[in-house]
Structure formats: structure tokens, C-alpha cells
Chains A and B, each alone.
Chain A
Amino acid sequence: MKIKVVFFSLFLLVNFLYAQPKWKKETSTPEVKLELFHSTQTANFPTTESLKSGNWMYEISHRFLPSINDGYDELFGFDGPAKIRFSLGYGINDNLMITLGRSNNTDNLDLQLKQKLFQIENDYLPSVFSFQLGAVWNTEVPFGLNLSRTDSRNFQFYTQLVFNTMLFNKKLGIGLVPSYLYNSFIYSVEKQYSFTIGSYLQYYINRMWSFWIEYNPTIAGYRGRIRLDEIGKSYNTIAIGTAIETGGHIFNILLTNNARLNTSQYLVGADRSTNNGDWRLGFGIIRYF
């Protein structure tokens, strides 16, 4: 009897040990990079997001010059004219992207390199840092000015450190962008510089809709005009708008006091003061491929 029990137990044990697969899960979890804002840029500032290697991005933005106060006669600004920017971006690798843009404001050609630096994984304050370098060539030669298109004075350079974080379960994005611009006013005899600390908040209601606000005060340096046909000084920039995201497109519709689009012009400041109620309409479309 005892032998039978031992045999039966051994039989069950052997069955138990062998009659089941020995496979053990080995799938390594791929590292997922922190992705905070939904696009590589806001209306006016870079975010820390980058294009994936080999991916493309196209942007077209308008800032209408008439004020919304001009009313129906100017269709609240849509009748134009407008400052326009086109740009094309490419992901060199997953952390480095290059963008070439052009604005019709002084025919400003803008070459940007943005590098993601590092990320801090944290449940409460996930953070990513990037920096952007820009080299700019203003190719317009004002009438009557004895200046070659390739004159070194037409070139500007800037650098921007970008900090992004997301709060409230990835609902509220916060960005800080300290920026330094060299040669702020290309027609100046003395080289000028501008230092600003840009910031933005973007609240994502859902995947499609979000609202944002941007503020770019000049902390030090030049805050004058950027064209010879302008008068007066520049002002701290404010922009407020909504972003609509659908199928690889991001549409920004905004109100701002700054019609300057390319970074080396935007960083000098706004061409209108908000105190006069001179808000202008603008929009931007970004398409990711």
C-alpha cells in the first residue's frame, strides 16, 4: 500500500514538473522616451519634442497685420497683408532635428538645430531639456542701402535652452525658454544683443483641443525696431490661442501683439503694444510626415 502511495505521488509530481511549458517571458521592455508636448513647437517657441529619425515636418504660419479693432472692413485682419513663415524640418536622429524656415519679413532665412539633452522621469514632474541653435541670414537689401546681400551684418545667431514639464496627468504643459540673440538689429553700427525668458502654458482638454498662452519678456539688451521702415521700440510679446490636433496636423489659431515670425525677429519683441489693444490674428499649421 505504502509503495503504491509513493508511486502515485511520484507520478503526480513528475506530471506536475514536466507537463507544463517551461517558457519564461523574456521580452525586454523598450525604453519609452518622455514625450510631453504634442508637437515639436508651439506657435512661437520650440518644445523639447523632436522629430523621429527620418521624419519630416512642414509649417506654414501667418500673422495678419491689421488689428482686430479694424473690424469688418479689414475682416478683423484676414484681408491682410500678413507676415508669413514657411519651414521644413527633418529628424536627423531621434534626438536631433534640423529646420529651415523663411519669413517674408526682411526675407529672413532661419536654420535651426535642436538637440534633446536629457530627461528626468518623475511621476509628478516629468521633465525634458533641449537646446536650439539658430543661424539666420536676412537676404533682403532695403532700397537705397549700400549693402551686399552677403554682408556679414545680415547674419544673426541665437541659442535657446528649452525646459518642458507636464502636470496633472499630462494635462498642463509648462515651458521655459531662455533665449539669447546676437546681432538683434542688423542695421546697427554697434552689434546688439537681446536676452529674453520665454514661457508658455498649454492645457490639453483632450487629444484634439488645447488652449495655450505664451509670454516673452525681454530681460536685457536690445528691444528696438528690426526694420529700417519701422519706428519706435519693441514690446514684450504675448500670444494666446487654441490648438486643434487631428490626423498628423496641428492648427494654431491665435491673438498676439507680435507679427514677427522667425525666431531672430520674434526674440527682439513685439511690434505693437498690448496697451493699445492692437491685437492681431494669426494662425499656424504644422504637418508631420
Chain B
Amino acid sequence: MKKSLVVIFLLITNIYLFGEEWHVKKSDANLVKFTSSTPVLDFDGITNNIDGYVYWEGEEIFSGKNELFFEVDINSIETGSGKRDRDMREDVLETDKWQTTYFKGEITSSKSLGNSNFEVKAIGKMFIHGIENQKEIIAQIRFENGVMNVTTDFSVLLKDYSIKAPSLLAFIKVAEEIKLHLNFNLAKAEE
């Protein structure tokens, strides 16, 4: 009897030792924006079609084992020009082969900024155009009214992902460095 109680206690403890899992709130106005900036012409591409999760074990936020995964459907990106969107899909990113881009990694450090704000560093694999590269990303996280808001800015180099910079005008090409800005919300996953 005593042994049974111990077993049950340990199992329950084991379950509750696990932390939390948060999923992207797809109904919110999420934003994934890239910017190509050249001396002659700037343009943005935006989508709200981001999905994924953050998961960690332990009672402390982002402590212990953790994992995060976010993916973006590239077909949904719009730059304001239908012709440019099509060229981007068909020639540049080849979305018939690789429809999504993703980042999968873990939070390696987090720093509380007070008022439920955190700055975290994540390291993982960034997948674009069929190529996976190691990537380090700094993000700001804010908890408010049961929502986790994530904001991050970083950039990628097209050549790191075997992407040939396409032409914007006759002799002007897209910038080699593409800046990305993400701002999206997550909600705690239901048990």
C-alpha cells in the first residue's frame, strides 16, 4: 500500500514537473515582414501566416529543457506587386519545392527585464530554400493578459541559402541582406 502511494505520488510529480507549451495564436494580427533595401528601391513582403510553438519544462519560465519551432508559409507573402510575388515564388524561393521556411531551436539564455518582459537568445536551425543553417536570434517576449508576445529583428544573407538575388528593375537587384521583423502572439496550449 505504501509503495503504491509512492508510485502514484512520483508519477503525479513527474507529470507536474513538466512546464508549459504555448502555440501561435493564428487569429491574432501576427506579422512577418521582410525588407529589401537598396540605394534605389526598398520593398517589403508581409504575411501573417506564421505557426509554431514554444515549450519548456520546469516551473521557471524558459528554464530547463526547452524547444521552439516557428514556420511561415512563403506562398502567403505579399510584396504589393502581383508580378513580383509570382517571380519570388516561382524563381527565387521555388515554393513548389519548399513551401515553408522555419526556425527550430532552443532558448539558451533569458533575462528578465521586469514587468513580465524578457529578452531571450535562441539558437537553432533556420530553413530557407531547402537549406538549413545555424542561426542565433535575439527576441523580446512580453506576457500580458494571458498572451505571450514575441518581437524579433534579424537578417539573413541570400547567398547563405543559395538564393540568387533577382532583379527589381532592369539593372537593380534585390539586396543581398534581407532584414526580417516578426511580431506575433502565442497563447498557452490547452491541456
A residues in contact (CB < 8 Å) with B? 3, 6-7, 10-11, 14-15, 18-19, 21-23, 25-27, 29-30, 32, 35, 51-52, 55, 91, 94, 207, 246-249, 288-289
B7 touches A247 (CB 8 A): no
Question: Per a CB cutoff under 8 Å, which of A18, A91, A247, A289 touches B172?
Answer: A247
B51 touches A27 (CB 8 A): yes
Please judge, given known A-B contacts A3-B3, A11-B10, A246-B167, whether A288 and B23 are in contact too, CB under 8 Å.
no
A32 touches B100 (CB 8 A): no
Which residues of B have CB within 8 Å of A91? Answer: 82
Which residues of A have CB within 8 Å of B168? Answer: 247-248
A247 touches B23 (CB 8 A): no
17 contacts between A and B (CB under 8 A): A7-B10, A11-B11, A14-B11, A18-B18, A21-B21, A22-B21, A23-B53, A27-B100, A30-B75, A30-B76, A35-B86, A55-B81, A207-B87, A246-B167, A247-B166, A247-B167, A247-B171
What CA separation (Å) do A32 and B88 show in the bound complex?
13
A23 touches B23 (CB 8 A): yes
What CA separation (Å) do A30 and B168 show in the bound complex?
25
A29 touches B99 (CB 8 A): yes
Number of interface residues of B (CB under 8 A): 43
**B189 at the A interface (CB under 8 A):** yes
A25 touches B189 (CB 8 A): no
Residue of A nearest to B6 (CB): A7
Could you tell me the dominant secondary structure of chain A's interface residues?
loop
A18 touches B73 (CB 8 A): no
Residue of B nearest to A17 (CB): B15
Which residues of B have CB within 8 Å of A29? Answer: 73, 75, 99
B15 touches A14 (CB 8 A): yes
B83 touches A22 (CB 8 A): no
**B85 at the A interface (CB under 8 A):** yes
Question: Per a CB cutoff under 8 Å, which of B71, B86, B169 touches A247?
Answer: B169
**B116 at the A interface (CB under 8 A):** no
B82 touches A51 (CB 8 A): yes
Could you tell me the dominant secondary structure of chain B's interface residues?
mixed
B71 touches A19 (CB 8 A): no
Please judge, given known A-B contacts A14-B11, A55-B81, whether A249 and B52 are in contact too, CB under 8 Å.
no
What CA separation (Å) do A25 and B170 show in the bound complex?
40
Please judge, given known A-B contacts A21-B55, A248-B169, A249-B170, whether A11 and B14 are in contact too, CB under 8 Å.
yes
Contact code string B25-53 (vs A, CB < 8 Å = 1, else 0):
01000000000000000000000010111
Residue of B nearest to A286 (CB): B83
Question: Per a CB cutoff under 8 Å, which of B11, B18, B81 touches A289?
Answer: B81
**B69 at the A interface (CB under 8 A):** yes
A246 touches B83 (CB 8 A): no
B82 touches A55 (CB 8 A): yes
Which residues of A have CB within 8 Å of B71? Answer: 25, 27
A10 touches B11 (CB 8 A): yes
Which residues of B have CB within 8 Å of A247? Answer: 166-172
A7 touches B7 (CB 8 A): yes
**B136 at the A interface (CB under 8 A):** no
A201 to chain B, nearest CB (A): 20
Residue of A nearest to B67 (CB): A21
**B57 at the A interface (CB under 8 A):** yes
A30 touches B11 (CB 8 A): no
Please judge, given known A-B contacts A30-B75, A207-B91, whether A15 and B14 are in contact too, CB under 8 Å.
yes
B189 touches A249 (CB 8 A): no
What CA separation (Å) do A73 and B28 show in the bound complex?
68
B16 to chain A, nearest CB (A): 10
What CA separation (Å) do A26 and B69 show in the bound complex?
13
Residue of A nearest to B76 (CB): A30
**B121 at the A interface (CB under 8 A):** no
What CA separation (Å) do A55 and B78 show in the bound complex?
12
**B84 at the A interface (CB under 8 A):** yes
List 5 tightest A-B contacts by C-beta distance, closest first.
A52-B82, A247-B167, A23-B53, A288-B83, A21-B55
